[in-house]
Amino acid sequence: MEQGADSAAARRMARVASHLRPPTSQMEEVAILKGSDCRAKGAAPGFKVAVLGASGGIGQPLSLLMKMNPLVSVLHLYDVVNTPGVTADISHMNTGAVVRGFLGQSQLESALTGMDLVIIPAGIPRKPGMTRDDLFNINAGIVRTLCEGIAKCCPNVIVNVISNPVNSTVPIAAEVFKKAGTYDPKRLLGVTTLDVVRANTFVGEVLGLDPRDVNVPVVGGHAGVTILPLLSQVNPPCSFTSEEISYLTSRIQNGGTEVVEAKAGAGSATLSMAYAAAKFADACLRGLRGDAGIVECSYIASQVTELPFFASKVRLGRSGVEEVLPLGPLNEFERAGLEKAKGELAESIHKGVAFANK
């Protein structure tokens, strides 16, 4: 009897130890997840999610929100700095997801193995006076490296790309996956949800409505004039004056700059971005679960326009993007905005593809 108690105590200690320290190799991770030593045993079933860039300004609140999501059973947090502290902090939350941290390039493969959804907020933030193009060389290299790991370790995973400039980083990811022979356009999604979140908020302010009751489709891309809110398709249906349309469109397109300037050198939109990313990730997980009618806007491989990538409404399901919905009727203002968006988007897409192939 005493031996059995000792064995049970040893197993409990092994669970605690495996929870507090990241595995140093894939072999070690297999050992951690084996049988009764897996701390997830007995927890509600769910999905395995990895956040790449979990220690950053977006990554930390996003990781917290994913830990709160009841659809997540295992949460892997990866970064090149500070992951142990973030992991220890978040792991103390009394929610169902088991949290494990991974630090540095040598642990990237362990962080990715077995995942259902990978979210990539990794990269440097935008600072005052910095355009999204200024971010390009650093963030493009980071995304390329992370996607090479995804192609090797979890080629069938759903990938949510947050790292800016999204208009270019999604094409970079696509090229990496093509080279590896693992590219599935249905499973690579650029996160543009923050544009929708802002549109719903700003329109709600103008109309005096709860923003949770407002739905504005936002198409095109995820930078400046490529962000095209379709105010003619707002739900609940309503009409705007030309002044309101101009004001709302401009504010939605420049929402990121508004935050950068307000923070005055202290960062960019991290909290609202984390909220939007968690909202989109939840939609992807509900799609994976098989829920019906999951429609969100996302920047994806598309034939809606002549461009290879374009943000529009998509229906999510078990395979990722199951249907790309048409743009619907556009008014004259939106048609003009679409042409501006396409011109800039074409350059950003070319820039990403050229980077990935150089």
pLDDT tens per residue across span 60-81: 999 999 999 999 999 999 999 9
Mean pLDDT along residues 218-235:
97
Q: What is the pLDDT of residues 240-273, one digit of tens each?
A: 999 999 999 999 999 999 998 999 888 889 999 9
Beta-carbon contacts of residue 204 (< 8 Å; ≥ 6 apart): 210, 211, 213, 214
Q: Kindly tell me the burial class for residue 323, based on how many C-beta atoms sit within 10 Å of its own C-beta (0-12, 13-18, 19 or more).
A: exposed
For the cut 60, the answer to whether the pLDDT of residue 53 exceeds it is yes
What three-state secondary structure class fits 311? strand
Give the number of residues written for the chain.
358
What three-state secondary structure class fits 231? helix
| β partners of residue 117 | 49, 158
Residue 57 assigned ligand-binding role: yes
Q: How would residue 42 be classed by pLDDT, with cut points 50, 70 and 90?
A: very low
The values of phi and psi at residue 40, to 5°, are -75, -10
Residue 268 assigned ligand-binding role: no
Enumerate the active-site residues. 222
Q: What is the pLDDT of residue 192?
A: 98
Mean pLDDT along residues 53-65:
98
Q: Which of 344, 343, 314 is nearest to 223 (CA)?
A: 344
| 157 vs 11: CA distance, rounded Å | 31
| 89 vs 241: CA distance, rounded Å | 49
Residue 55 assigned ligand-binding role: yes
Residue 58 assigned ligand-binding role: yes
